[in-house]
Structure 1
């Protein structure tokens, strides 16, 4: 009898490599590092992003460093132009992208029309000679090479724009890729420019403190009296985007995190905070405020905007959204069969104002005006004795709430206007509150 062939370990090794890559991706975006291809991980993988590999030093830094130029005056050249924009518009977008970095460092950038440049800008499709193929519209938008290579490539299959929510914003994608060209890797901070996912159009963009710390770790700070001059070819305008403040009303229709009251606020199973306003949602972290808003229906398909309230159950993995007399129930961003349903089926009030789940008894509390309802999501509830007065539930807490949430630290947070209160496990609002939501949660100046 012949000896059976020995089983190859290669498939096992490949599977382990695949799971390790998934864990790295999940760690990058603050998801549970399970190594499983779950819905949250797939949702991240589907979003438009930069094509540069994620190489964050997860143990030490929020940003990573890939290299450094040995000089501080660099030239750049636009090798070709996208037909989606005029040459002047492309030149202005690229110029402004460089200016974000020169404003906070001693670096200066000079545009040239011919000859060898330190940094080259190119639009290309599919395979384009650098062994990093573009994949058509969406997914990978651009990629760049580290110092002192200097190449930055943009997928021509994207629709490049400026000044509109349509298409893909060239200015911000270029600023991100220039960060790579200057030596920065990807950041773990969602709202940083160097985060790997495309944030969407933002006319009020400013570098995140994590971006500034990273670039200044490489090149130092800009001296107060120095100027970062960009010499521009004659056919490119020298005007740059105005330096808007966060208090100006956005012209794009997106809500301003520093001005807007909340519609709802939830903490997902992946421990990400989602703050809702109108048709948009922000991802909110403990220390770095709100990222750029994205459309709600990009994450929760079929969910309308202008919500009344929302709550995520950490025990069942379900997320409940309330608007008018309807309730939507999702699991992992997927609408569950039979929803939306009328809240009257659950004896809950229409148009609730806030909701949260209390770890003390796993019950969901729903608020409207000065009253509340206590609801068990897993069984039929006799709610005939509700509403009860909020003042009988909380001590020193407000009524007429905008939103409520149980955060990662187990504390309950109540929001009304720009004020928020922190409630301890004894359901007592702590001293020193209310505080400013925009300053603390949204990190507005």
Structure 2
């Protein structure tokens, strides 16, 4: 028996242990050997079944060599101090390094494990880190997704109202997915590859880790970029400097995707962010990124956009909607562990933890800002040029009472966030911290009050409508030649606008609707038409609209919102619903009355 122990440590520690070694030293060595062996099993270097075949000692040695190759360490087959430190101390991802298929392991610089069958992906954070600022967490996660969208045709949208494709959680220890965290150090995060499981694509971060949004500690941005690579289908890379390396190196604020990362992700998804327009397109409209989410490569647009709707969208979305519906019905929010379920009770408990932080932020904002708020006296004040956001929370950290009665003039998704326009302000909604800013502080020369707005995700351009004029912004900059006057005599000032799947702009006013081509500033033939004929359950004179997911549009009217299925042209069951709980985070009426 002693000889077996000796042979084992020739492999693991590279030290020949004599039979006369004291018992307590031998026990410590055995414990270390067990940890190393468990590590090699966990990360794919040593198959459990391997112990039943051939020389187990040689298999252990080969597993160590494989690890050293993957970790770019000197290859010896024995575990020296450097190898041991890399294994048991160095922060790393919890996903396997070597993916085995049919009994054989994959040894590529990059590993492409799977992919999504769509390119418009959604995400949400269902469990935030308790001690990091929530807005900074959201900003960091959004930025991490941009690393991948910048080199592919993928788009990522924050969807706090429905189950996302990628659910993000900060959790600790055992959490119901079979891959428990181990506290600070070593296993810092893990994610799941695309697939049909309810947990496919999800990303988990160890809340006990010393996370940092800057330099000290384990950098959240770098780790999130890595984990989202797994969520998209990439395995680990053994290329030095690769984002998909399993080991989290010292943070470099200027880090970029390695050539190996780009090659890997582009082997799964195209690198062209905009689809080509086929010569069969007969109108002057462009194919927006909305068509990408419908898997539509070419659309023959006739004179009436609604005529194309029944044949094109219904056919192209049927398969995608079925697959997505199956996943959504199977997805379990708690992932087998009810402690992780984000119920309203848990959310209120979580919000309470943020009370002191929100209070400090609000007071700091009030000290910093000057001038008056013209909307109502209860909001925090903007500074004199309106360049800072105001947090719309009172000293207890709850959403202020009057914000819960806010009506929307326009709503749109800009940079993976949802914004609502009201009078001269723009509000970031569907977020824990409801914030606002003066429109003209963001978009120079914009109208004081916006009638409606549309963000085009393919061109990254924001269109603002007021009266019979249109403003077009690329980022914060007004494009040359704008604002422009819309001279088509059939045109009226719209109360709501939304980007249609063909690239035309669907607009509403009173009981009429029409399609506008923003390049020619003309209406489609045969329009305007009566809304009641084509959208029978839609209220008249809606205030705002935003495209949501693949075949849904949210319409806003007074303090309610409606979810419309554009294929059936009907309002979904259960609607209308109140805007306040879901878009303004006003979840407790009794509490809001005391604010």
TM category, shorter: 0.3 to 0.5
Q: Indicate the structure (1 or 2) with the bigger Cα radius of gyration.
A: 2
- Please, what TM-score do these two structures have when normalized by structure 1? 0.48
- Please, what TM-score do these two structures have when normalized by structure 2? 0.36
Name which structure has the greater RCO, CA cutoff 8 Å, separation 6+. 1
